Amino acid sequence: MNYFINPNRMTLWLSTMGAALMTRVSRLGKAGMFLGQTLFYCLTPQVQAERVLRQTWFIGWKSLLVIGMTGTFAGMVVALQGYPALRRMGSEALLGPGVALSLIRELGPVLTALMVTGRAGSAIAAEIGIMRTSEQIDALELMGLNPFRYVVVPNVLASLLALPVLTLAFDAIGILGGYLVGVRLLGLNGGTYFWEMSNYLEMKDVLGGIYKALTFGLLIAWVCCYKGYYSRFGAEGVSAATTQAVVNASVLILVCDYFVTSVVF
């Protein structure tokens, strides 16, 4: 009770809370400004095409193996879990649409984004963080070059290009994984697996998945580039920036997933 009456402690508490709130708000503002600047430079001329291609190779092509592995097992486990449940209801013929819809609408975009965050997002944050701490970003600026155009924009554009393609690859591989378990292992008819899929799957499901992939692509590049760009100095600073980039991007992907789902489906 005393705690609330004592004016000195109350003032201290209020000022501490206020300072913490202000720090959070100013960080949010800084991140928002960073995104605004990035989008501006993405949409204005002098895009570094060669760098965009190189980063697309790095984010897209080099993630393909991990996406293939994740997709295969995600599809397999959905089929393995879904088949007994559908069988109880006498609807095992709907295994194909069940696997396809859960992958295309939800698992494909989300798992792809999480995998890309872990594999490429962390590397992007670390690379930009090292560029910051070793003054390479300052060097770019002193050469009269815009670090956003050279460092941030190629990663954002590459991520926007790579994520939808990786997501579609994840979906296709996952459906084949589901086929392996559902048809080869559990004995469902192969024709039924694919035929029923075409009856239930709509274009808006595929488009919804692509919208999600685009949103997540922007989110991953934004968070990872931002954390690297404002990395603190020293190895500890870069390490903290990398960890924060992966954690923040992963959480934001799941939060955004809910909102994007509620809008596009």
Partner 1 sequence: MIRVENLRKSFGNQEVLREVSLEVQPGEFMALIGSSGGGKSLLLKLVVGLLKPDRGRIWVAGRDVAALSRRELESLRSRIGFVFQGGALFDSMTVYDNVAFPLREKTSLGEKDIYRKVMRELELVGLRDAARKYPAQLSGGMLKRVALARALVRDPEIVLFDEPTTGLDPVVSRAVLDLFGSVHRQLKLTGILVSHEIPRIFEIVQKVVMLHEGRIIAAEPPARLCASSNPVIRQFVNGTTAAQSARVEELV
Q: Interface residues with partner 1 (CB under 8 A)?
A: 134-136, 138-139, 141-145
Q: How far is CA 131 from CA 34, 176, 263, in A?
A: 17, 41, 38
Angle value at C-alpha 148, between 126 and 240, nearest 5 degrees: 25
Of the candidates 224, 241, 212, the one whose C-alpha atom is nearest the C-alpha of residue 112 is 212
Q: How far is the CB of 131 from partner 1 (least distance, A)?
A: 8
Which residues 6+ apart lie within 8 Å of 214 measured at CB?
A: 160, 163, 164
Q: How far is the CB of 136 from partner 1 (least distance, A)?
A: 5
Q: How far is the CB of 143 from partner 1 (least distance, A)?
A: 5
Nearer to partner 1, 141 or 202 (CB): 141
Nearer to partner 1, 141 or 236 (CB): 141
Q: How far is the CB of 134 from partner 1 (least distance, A)?
A: 6
Q: How far is the CB of 240 from partner 1 (least distance, A)?
A: 20
Rounded CA gap, 81 and 73, in Å? 12
Nearer to partner 1, 53 or 145 (CB): 145
Nearer to partner 1, 143 or 203 (CB): 143
Task: Give alpha helix (H) positions in 44-152.
Answer: 49-59, 64-88, 95-102, 108-116, 122-133, 136-142, 147
Q: Mutual orientation of helices 122-133 and 234-264 as an angle, nearest 10°?
A: 140
Nearer to partner 1, 144 or 187 (CB): 144
Nearer to partner 1, 138 or 202 (CB): 138
Q: How far is the CB of 146 from partner 1 (least distance, A)?
A: 8
Q: Are 126 and 238 in contact (CB under 8 A)?
A: yes
